[in-house]
Amino acid sequence: DMGRDLAKFLGSRPTALMRGYGAVVVVSGMREALYIAYYPEPAAMLHMQAMAIAELLCPAPGDVLTIFPRPGP
């Protein structure tokens, strides 16, 4: 069942991008949902622009949270 697979993938994550479907956001409030739903697109645009300039190195998961603390209201 697709719903069960999505729930398993999400786990404690607030969002997922689904090829051909868009995004799903699962949080407790509308303000946080809007915040989380908005920022993946500008982040992806910046990533694509950076890739056009030079080879990117992928940071370790802990490094991302150190540089960008978990967003939210």
How far, in Å, CA of 45 to CA of 56, rounded? 14
Q: Which pairs with CB-CB distance under 8 Å and at least 24 residues apart come from 28-33? A: 29/73, 31/73, 32/72, 32/73
Q: What are the pLDDT digits (tens) for 13-44?
A: 888 888 888 888 888 999 888 888 888 778 88
Whether this prediction's pTM lies above 0.85 is answered by: no
Answer yes or no: are the C-beta atoms of 59 and 68 closer than 8 Å.
Answer: no
**Average confidence score pLDDT of the chain:** 79
Q: Is the pLDDT of residue 65 over 70?
A: no
